């Protein structure tokens, strides 16, 4: 298998990463029970062997255990990879496993960075994202706190996640933002309206999470698929059986394009994202080696402008059914 993934720069920051990263959340959290640690370490190391140099985790994944996993897996070649993690939640209570409340106060950020550094077995975090915008803390204060961490040598680059255009501008004015991480895929295209033009103007990279629609665009999920009781998709409106049935039209369309390209639906969905802008770096997550190899191979599939136009025209005729988040979570998204 081809192991030489092209590199991309995240905006004007100079931070260079593989054109596809690896989202590590699902190894510990979110999509059912945590997977075997040894197997996941082997998978992360295999990703590196295959050319992936960009790995994504967060304090809240687990909580805490995903950072430990990523830190241990990447320790042997730490200086050859870019590790991104996130801050911005506080534990609901000591010893409790459920994290819910936001906390991006500067003193909190400066405390929790120490835990992330320790778990990641490193002395510097390459890219440190605010996980969600905290309405109680001016974004200028958040950017200022990360700026202090950069000056102290604990962080290299500042990122935001699910932030709105005005928030991005305000943060960028205090400490240049290297990357925005938000959901973006063929079935969630809202960022095209305001976010992508803002990032282009400011020279900020874009890191789409859930680039395969939380697995739906792979074509391996239908109305009869059942998820583990701990799987987050059970509460996502877009994943009700009736909406899954209605949204199959998307997958069928991807399948037609994939046949022409001798590719899979997932590969077409990823290469479509890569074709949008040269500073977009999707981070598909997986716990399976064959899926990892399939995703990585998408980086070498070239879609022409005609291919992209054909996909866009066909998708424009399909109405995606169901909200992307439950109402409570949707309220957390910065506009």
Question: Residue 1 has what pLDDT?
Answer: 52
Pick the catalytic residue from 31, 61, 129, 184: 61
Question: Residue 297 has what pLDDT?
Answer: 97
> Whole-angstrom Cα distance, residue 107 to residue 210?
31
Banded pLDDT at 334 (limits 50, 70, 90): confident
HSE on the CB side for 175, CA within 13 Å?
25
Domains of the chain: 7-215+277-301 (3.20.20.100)
> How, if at all, do strands 125-130 and 7-9 pair?
unpaired
Question: Residue 327 has what pLDDT?
Answer: 85
Write the pLDDT tens digit of every residue in 215-260. 999 999 999 999 999 999 999 999 999 999 999 999 999 999 999 9
Write the pLDDT tens digit of every residue in 53-72. 999 999 999 999 999 999 99
CA 225 to chain centre: 24
Write the pLDDT tens digit of every residue in 119-138. 999 999 999 999 999 999 99
Query: pTM for this structure?
Result: 0.96
Write the pLDDT tens digit of every residue in 80-107. 999 999 999 997 555 555 577 999 999 9
Question: Residue 93 has what pLDDT?
Answer: 52
Question: Residue 91 has what pLDDT?
Answer: 74
Answer whether residue 335 shows pLDDT above 80: no
Q: Does the bond joining 183 to the residue before it have cis omega, within 30 degrees of 0?
A: no
The pLDDT > 70 percentage for the chain reads 97
Q: Is 184 an active-site residue? A: no
**Which residues have CB under 8 Å from 117's CB, separation 6+?**
123, 124, 125, 154
Average confidence score pLDDT of the chain: 94
Indicate the burial class of 183 (C-beta count within 10 angstroms; 0-12, 13-18, 19 or more).
buried
Write the pLDDT tens digit of every residue in 298-314. 999 999 999 999 999 99
């Amino acid at each position: 298998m081809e192991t030489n993934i092209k590199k991309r720069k995240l905006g004007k920051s100079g931070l260079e990463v593989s054109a596809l990263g690896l989202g590590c959340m699902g190894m510990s959290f979110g999509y059912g029970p945590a997977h075997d640690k040894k197997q996941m370490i082997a998978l992360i190391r295999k990703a590196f062997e295959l050319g992936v140099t960009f790995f994504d985790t967060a304090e809240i994944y687990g909580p805490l255990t995903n950072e430990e996993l990523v830190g241990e897996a990447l320790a042997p070649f730490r200086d050859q990879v870019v590790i991104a993690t996130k801050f911005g939640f506080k534990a609901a209570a000591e010893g409790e496993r459920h994290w819910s409340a936001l906390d991006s106060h500067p003193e909190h950020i400066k405390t929790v960075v120490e835990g992330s550094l320790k778990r990641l077995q490193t002395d510097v975090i390459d890219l440190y994202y605010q996980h969600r915008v905290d309405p109680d803390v001016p974004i200028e204060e958040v950017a200022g706190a990360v700026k202090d961490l950069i000056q102290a040598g604990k962080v290299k680059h500042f990122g935001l996640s699910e932030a709105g255009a005005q928030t991005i501008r305000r943060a960028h004015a205090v400490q240049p933002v290297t990357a925005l991480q938000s959901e973006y895929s063929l079935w969630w295209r809202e960022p095209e309206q305001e976010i992508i033009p803002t990032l282009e103007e400011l020279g900020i990279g874009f890191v789409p999470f859930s680039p395969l629609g939380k697995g739906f665009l792979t074509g391996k999920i239908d109305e009869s698929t059942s998820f583990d009781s701990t799987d987050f998709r059970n509460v996502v409106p877009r994943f009700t059986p009736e909406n899954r049935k209605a949204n199959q039209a998307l997958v069928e369309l991807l399948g037609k394009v994939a046949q022409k390209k001798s590719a899979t639906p997932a590969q077409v969905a990823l290469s479509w994202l890569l074709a949008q802008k040269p500073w977009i770096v999707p981070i598909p997550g997986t716990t399976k080696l064959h899926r990892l190899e399939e995703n990585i191979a998408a980086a070498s599939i070239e879609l022409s402008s005609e291919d992209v136009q054909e996909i866009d025209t066909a998708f424009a005729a399909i109405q995606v059914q169901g909200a992307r988040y439950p109402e409570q979570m949707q309220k957390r998204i910065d506009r």
